[in-house]
Every structure is written in C-alpha cells, then in structure tokens.
Amino acid sequence: MVDLKGNVSKQLTDAFFRLLSQKITEEQPGAREEAYKELLYESGFRDLLHRREAQLSDALRYMEEQNVAVARQNAKVRQQLEELTDYFIVHYAKSLNTIPLPEALLKHQGPGADDLPLETLIFDYLDFGNEPDEKVYTDFVKMPVQKLRNAGKFFLTPERRDERIFFICDQSLLGSCKEGFAMTERGLYWKAQLQTPNYVLYKDLKEVVREKDWLLIDGAFFNINLRFNIKMLKLLKRLQQRSKAGRE
C-alpha cells in the first residue's frame, strides 16, 4: 500500500524496481538485471516512469478523497506497475531478453483492455505463430476424429457441454493427442506425459510459478518448453487479473 503522507513518487519507484527485478528473474532466465537498469536510464524510459508515477499519485489522492476502498487503490497500483514493467521489458528491452515476448500482449493494457475478446488475449499471449513445433488445432471439423476423441477422453473434460474450446494442442510423441493441452472460455486443461490430467478454471486460479524450466499451476506440473512456459505464465497471470476485475 502506498502511504500518501510519505514520498509517493519514491514508493512507486521502489515498487516498480522490485517488480521489474522479480519479472527479469522469473521471465528472463540468465539475463543480466543490471543491463535492464542501465537501459532504463539510457532509453529515456525513466522520464516516462516519472510522468506515470505523477499521474498515479494524483489518481490515488483523488481516490482517497472519494473514500474509495483501499483494496481498489492497491489494485490500481498493482495494475499500473504490471503494465509499466511489461511495457519496458517487452518493448524497450528486446535486445536484452533471453526469452522473446510478443508485442501483441501490450494491446491488452490500459482502459478498455478487458473488453477485448478472451480468445484474442489468449492467442496474442501464446503467439503460436512463433511456435512452429507445436501442433495446434483450432478447426475441430478438420481435426482428425480419433485425435479429438482422445483429447476428450484423456484431458479435455469441461464441466459444461457448451463450453467454447479455443484450441487443442497435441503433445503426444506419436501424434495420438492422448497428451496435450487445451484452452476454453473457462479454463486450461492439460495432461503431460506420465502425469495425471489436470485443469484450472481462470476464476479459481490461485498461483502460477516457474520452477526451473517448467510451471507449477496451483501446484500441478505443466511443461511445453521454456519459451512457451513463460508465455503461458504471463497469460495465466493476466487471466487471473481479468477474472478478478470482472468480479469487482
């Protein structure tokens, strides 16, 4: 929480750098954090950061005057810092990143971003166009019938029959689609090799973290490849934010 009686700008700057450090560690393995900080000054992004901090300070003071709940003030700070750190890493620090992140994810920032279709958000973040090794099906009429049946039998088991499926990705070694993952309008469903099937609904997601080269999604193992895992990590965190905003 920002203490409006203290130095608000310093508090926001400190929070920005803490989050930036966390994201570099989690999303850019092997990257040199000091290089990002140097770039922040050399690129002129620091000036943009100061302007955004001033705007956010004014917004927080106004919210306090209007007796807006502290939880909503905190949510606004978190959202602004999330967007600023993403903008810097994705747009300004491309040459430093060890894991390339799609610029398309930046269009899901700012006012009205949550009004964009969920399907657009998912495909922009996962950027399948730069994942040539992944076999992804979006047209289930053209998808081989046995593969579709296997996906439904082994991991894609939505609770609602009318749940819209955005894609199915076959991860099986022999192309049977007995292992893989799929995303729908409500959740992520997956089965890794030698693992039991799992699923998480976006509205119920509690935690997603990178553990070495794989993810733990509410404690369950998920692994495609390091690059894709990090994109999925960011997507699930964004879906978590979107679901929470929709409930407020």
Beta-carbon count within 10 A of 68 CB: 14
Is the predicted pLDDT of residue 248 greater than 60, yes or no? no
Question: What is the mean pLDDT of the segment spanning 108-116?
Answer: 89
State what percent of residues in the chain have pLDDT above 90: 74
DSSP state of 156: -
pLDDT at 239: 95
pTM equals 0.92
pLDDT at 243: 84
CB 167 within 8 A of CB 148: no
Pick 94 or 246 by higher pLDDT: 94
pLDDT in tens, 28-79: 999 999 999 999 999 999 999 999 888 888 888 878 888 878 778 778 888 8
CATH of domain 113-247: 2.30.29
pLDDT at 75: 81
pLDDT at 1: 64
Domains of the chain by residue range = 8-98, 113-247
CB 196 within 8 A of CB 186: no
Average pLDDT, the chain: 92
Q: How confident is the model at residue 160 (pLDDT cuts 50, 70, 90)?
A: confident
Q: Which residues touch 19 (CB under 8 Å, ≥6 apart)?
A: 81, 82, 85
List helix spans (H) across 66-206.
70-87, 118-126, 145-154
